[in-house]
C-alpha cells in the first residue's frame, strides 16, 4: 500500500493525487490563485508571475510551473506576496490602455478583475500604452488592439499548440516585445482561419470578436425591411451564462422571446439546416463509397476548418463534402423564398463561431452580389444586444420559433458538439431505426471530448473507418495519416476543441462548464419527439416545393483557395 503524500498549504495538509503543479493542488483548498498565463489545456509558460507562492525558507516559486513534492510547506497570501502582485499589476496597467468603459471586455477583463481584487487605487508609473493606431481590424472575424496586450502569450500558445495555425507569435525582445503576425502584416493577410480560439483565452480584450451589432439594429428599425434570424444549436446552451442562467441549460425559448421583443419578424432554428445537411451529406457519402472516389469524405460544416484546408492542404479540397453548412442551407432557402415573394429582407445568423463571419462574406454564398446571410453575430454579441435592449432575460417567458420552418429533429440539435454530425448521419443510414438502435448509435464511439475519436462500423459487407476530430492540431495529425495512405472513410472536423459549443464567439467557460454545454445539447436531443433528420416532416415539403431539382444551387458548394 502506497503511503499518502502531502503538501502543507497555508497550514492545511493537502494530499497529492496526481496534480501536475502546485496551482492545481492549491485550487483544491478553495483558494483562487491570481494568474493571467495559465490554462490547463496549454503548455506552462509561467510569464505573468502572479501565482507566486512563498515557502518556509522565504523562497518564491511560480505555482503553475512547480510540481508538488511531499513535505513542502507554502503560503499563498503573505504580505510580501501581496506587495509583489500589486507591483506586477501596476506595471501592467502602466503599459495598458485604460479606456475600460468603452472596452468590449469591460467587466470580463481579468486585468480589471485582479486590479479590483488587489485594491489598486492608483498607478505610480507613467502610462506607456501603445496608441490606437496599432489596432488591426483587417479580419472580418476578430480585432486586435496592441494597447491592451499584456504579453501573457495565451493567444500564441492557443494558435500554435492547439490549432496548429501559427498566425501570431512573439516578435522582438525586451521592452520592444509584441505579439505579431509574420512581418507585421495585417491579420487578414496571415494564415489566420478566424476560429477565434485566441479570443477565448485572451484575458484583457487585446483580441476580441469583430462587432457587427450596429447594422442589425439599423435593419430592425427599418419599417421597409423584413428581418429574419436563425439561431445555431450551440447558442442555446451557452448564452444563459452571461444572463443569470447556468451553463448547459437550454434557453432556446427565452432566446426566441428576446429576439421577438427586440423586433425581429421571423425567428428560426439552424437545426433545420442541420437536418438538411444530414440528408445531403449521407447521400453524398453513399455515392462516394459506391464510386470509391474522393475518400475519405470530410465534413464541411466548420468554416475555420475549411479555411485551414484551403490554406494548408488545398490538395485535399476534393475530399471535402460539397454540402453547404447548415447556416448557409437555411439562409439559401430563406432568401430564395423572400425573393419569390418580392420582399426586401435582412437575414441575421446567431452563431457560436467567429469564422462564420468570414463564411457569410464568401463569394460562393452570394446571389447577384448580395450575401445569403447579411450579418453574423456571435453569442457574445447577442448577449450585448439583449442587455442593451434592457431585457430581463431570466424573466422572459419562453416562445416557439416561427413557422413554416419551425420543426427540427434531435439529430440537428447535436450538430453543436463534436461527434454530433457523425451521430446524426449514422442515425439516418442505419438499417434498423428503433429507439433501441438509436441508443446503440450513441455508443459507437463518437461521443466524448477527446480530440481524436475513431471507430469502425459495418455497412452491408463492408467495414468502414470513421474518425471524429476537434481542434485543428488534431485535424493535422489525421490529415497526415490520410496522406500516408491509411484507409479512412469518413472524417468529421470541427476547428474548436469540443465542437461549436466551445466556439470562439461563445462566452468564456472553464472545462467543467464546457462539458455541461455538451450534456445540455444531448439532453435537448432526448426531449425531442423527432430524433432522426428524415423524420422531420418539414423536409418533405421543402424538397417537394422548393428544393427539388435545385439541390446544387441551394444546398451545395465547391470550395477553392481563398484568403481571409
DSSP state letter for 382: H
Residue 456 C-alpha cell reads as: 469502425
Q: How many angstroms separate the CA atoms of 414 and 322, rounded? A: 21
Q: How many angstroms separate the CA atoms of 120 and 86, rounded? A: 7
Inter-residue contact 371 to 238 (CB < 8 Å): no
- Classify the C-alpha dihedral 474-239-260-420 as positive or negative: positive
Catalytic residue set: 281, 284, 301, 321, 356, 359, 364, 500
**Residue among 481, 478, 562, 551 nearest 283 (CA):** 551
Q: How many angstroms separate the CA atoms of 51 and 61, rounded? A: 8
Inter-residue contact 364 to 401 (CB < 8 Å): no
Q: Which long-range contacts (CB under 8 A, 24 or more apart) does 284-290 make?
A: 284/321, 284/322, 284/323, 285/321, 285/425, 285/429, 285/490, 286/429, 289/459, 289/462, 289/464, 289/489
Cell numbers 463571419 correspond to 357
Neighbours of 558 (CB within 10 A): 10
Main-chain phi, psi angles of 480, to 5 degrees: -65, -35
Beta bridge pairs of residue 156: none
Cβ-Cβ contacts under 8 Å for 309 (sequence gap 6 or more): 298, 316, 317, 320, 559
Inter-residue contact 441 to 522 (CB < 8 Å): no
Q: How many angstroms separate the CA atoms of 304 and 262, rounded? A: 30
Q: What is the largest CA-CA distance in the chain?
A: 79
Helices (H), 29-153: 79-94, 110-117
Amino acid at each position: 500500500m502506497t503511503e499518502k503524500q502531502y503538501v502543507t498549504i497555508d497550514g492545511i495538509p493537502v494530499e497529492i493525487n496526481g496534480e501536475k503543479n502546485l496551482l492545481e493542488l492549491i485550487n483544491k483548498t478553495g483558494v483562487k490563485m491570481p494568474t493571467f498565463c495559465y490554462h490547463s489545456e496549454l503548455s506552462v509558460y509561467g510569464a505573468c508571475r502572479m501565482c507566486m507562492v512563498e515557502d518556509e525558507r522565504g523562497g518564491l516559486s511560480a505555482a503553475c510551473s512547480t510540481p508538488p513534492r511531499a513535505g513542502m510547506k507554502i503560503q499563498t497570501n503573505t504580505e510580501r506576496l501581496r506587495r509583489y502582485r500589486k507591483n506586477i499589476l501596476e506595471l501592467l496597467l502602466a503599459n495598458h490602455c485604460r479606456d475600460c468603459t468603452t472596452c468590449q471586455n469591460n467587466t470580463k477583463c481579468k486585468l480589471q478583475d485582479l486590479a479590483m481584487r488587489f485594491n489598486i487605487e492608483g498607478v505610480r508609473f507613467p502610462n506607456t500604452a501603445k496608441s490606437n493606431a496599432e489596432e488591426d481590424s483587417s479580419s472580418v472575424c476578430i480585432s486586435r488592439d496592441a494597447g491592451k496586450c499584456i504579453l501573457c502569450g495565451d493567444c500564441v500558445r492557443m494558435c500554435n499548440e492547439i490549432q496548429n495555425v501559427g498566425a501570431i507569435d512573439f516578435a522582438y525582445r525586451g521592452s520592444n516585445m509584441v505579439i505579431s503576425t509574420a512581418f507585421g502584416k495585417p491579420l487578414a493577410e496571415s494564415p489566420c482561419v478566424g476560429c477565434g480560439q485566441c479570443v477565448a483565452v485572451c484575458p484583457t480584450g487585446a483580441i476580441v470578436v469583430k462587432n457587427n451589432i450596429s447594422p442589425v439594429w439599423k435593419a430592425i428599425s427599418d419599417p421597409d425591411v423584413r428581418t429574419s434570424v436563425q439561431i445555431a444549436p450551440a447558442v442555446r446552451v451557452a448564452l444563459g451564462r452571461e444572463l443569470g442562467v447556468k451553463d448547459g441549460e437550454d434557453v432556446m425559448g427565452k432566446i426566441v422571446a428576446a429576439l421577438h421583443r427586440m423586433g425581429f419578424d421571423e425567428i428560426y432554428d439552424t437545426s433545420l439546416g442541420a437536418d438538411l445537411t444530414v440528408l445531403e451529406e449521407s447521400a453524398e457519402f453513399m455515392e462516394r463509397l459506391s464510386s470509391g472516389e474522393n475518400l475519405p469524405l470530410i465534413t464541411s460544416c466548420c468554416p475555420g476548418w475549411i479555411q485551414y484546408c484551403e490554406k494548408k492542404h488545398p490538395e485535399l479540397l476534393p475530399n471535402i463534402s460539397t454540402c453547404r453548412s447548415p447556416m448557409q442551407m437555411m439562409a439559401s432557402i430563406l432568401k430564395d423564398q423572400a425573393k419569390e415573394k418580392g420582399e426586401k429582407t435582412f437575414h441575421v445568423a446567431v452563431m457560436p463561431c467567429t469564422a462564420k463571419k468570414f463564411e457569410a462574406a464568401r463569394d460562393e454564398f452570394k446571389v447577384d452580389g448580395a450575401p445569403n446571410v447579411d450579418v453574423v453575430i456571435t453569442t457574445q454579441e447577442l448577449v450585448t444586444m439583449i442587455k442593451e435592449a434592457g431585457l430581463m432575460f431570466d424573466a422572459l417567458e419562453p416562445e416557439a420559433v416561427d413557422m413554416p420552418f419551425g420543426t427540427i429533429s434531435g439529430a440537428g440539435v447535436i450538430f453543436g458538439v463534436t461527434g454530433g454530425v457523425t451521430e446524426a448521419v449514422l442515425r439516418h443510414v442505419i438499417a434498423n431505426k428503433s429507439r433501441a438502435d438509436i441508443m446503440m448509435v450513441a455508443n459507437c464511439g463518437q461521443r466524448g471530448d477527446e480530440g481524436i475519436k475513431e471507430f469502425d462500423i459495418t455497412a452491408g459487407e463492408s467495414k468502414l473507418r470513421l474518425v471524429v476530430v476537434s481542434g485543428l492540431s488534431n485535424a493535422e495529425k489525421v490529415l497526415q495519416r490520410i496522406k500516408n495512405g491509411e484507409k479512412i472513410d469518413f472524417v468529421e472536423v470541427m476547428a474548436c476543441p469540443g465542437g461549436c459549443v466551445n466556439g470562439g464567439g461563445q462566452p468564456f467557460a472553464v472545462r467543467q462548464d464546457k462539458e455541461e454545454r455538451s450534456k445540455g445539447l444531448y439532453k435537448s436531443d432526448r426531449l425531442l419527439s423527432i430524433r432522426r433528420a428524415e423524420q422531420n416532416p418539414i423536409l418533405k415539403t421543402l424538397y417537394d416545393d422548393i428544393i427539388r431539382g435545385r439541390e446544387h444551387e441551394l444546398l451545395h458548394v465547391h470550395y477553392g483557395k481563398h484568403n481571409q
